Amino acid sequence: PLTAREPLQRNREFCLFSLEKSNNCRVGQDNRFRFHKPWSLEGKANLSEFQLRRRMSISLRFMSKMTHPILNSQALDTLFLHARSHNGWLDKPVEDALLQQAWALARMGPTSANCSPMRVVFIKSEAAKARLQPALIEGNRAKTLSAPVTAIFANDSRFHDLLPKLFPHADARSWFAGPDKEAIAATTAFRNGTLQAAYFMLAARALGLDCGPMSGFDNALVDREFFPDGRIKSNFICNL
């Protein structure tokens, strides 16, 4: 299964992405951020799409004055506003290079202590789909078998073994290793693995793929078939 990202040299200018934190950053500080907060969706769940776009447009015009560029409306449509959970698929293959590109983007998203616990198995061949089929509920079988690719997003229970490489400036492995740390390790793996799977779907959409995530399957059966050593546990699956 694909593994985690390399550690990155952090740039303190990245704090400018957050209007709340920008005043604490002495590198490239911009005092325009001191008295303003970005527009949010809080309390706006009942807005029509027109109202949502209008308010976002106003907010984006203000945010365009920020140091870093923001996505245009077409990109936001692709990632959020026009994106749907797809159930029908083109009879067209998805190349491995495109999946690798999506992974390369997704793995750069932040996780706790850079733990990066998600592992992915891509189901493409007829033989692999036949192995997956018994674990699917009836309503998910046809759309999954017809999808060019099905990603099994899973979490590595031994993710902490890679922390000396991924988080080298502290003894982060000791935070999760040992029989008395199993609960916090499992919680950390599930939370951050789910977060990484969401990053992957956004990356896939950004690269032109549609996504159909689902949880209607037997996790235990998938684990026995694809992760028999017990170290890796399936989270959810996603057709692409």
With 0-12 / 13-18 / 19 or more C-beta atoms within 10 angstroms meaning exposed / middle / buried, residue 19 is middle
pLDDT at 21: 37
Residue 197 dihedral angles phi and psi, to the nearest 5°:
-65, -40
Q: What is the pTM of this model?
A: 0.74
The 10s digit of each residue's pLDDT in 196-231 is 999 999 999 999 999 999 999 999 999 999 999 999
The 10s digit of each residue's pLDDT in 149-165 is 999 999 999 999 999 99
Is the pLDDT confidence value at 234 over 50? yes
Mean of pLDDT values over 162-178? 96
Kindly list the distances between the CA atom of residue 101 and the CA atoms of 31, 69, 184, 202, in Å, as whole numbers in the listed order.
Answer: 37, 22, 31, 12
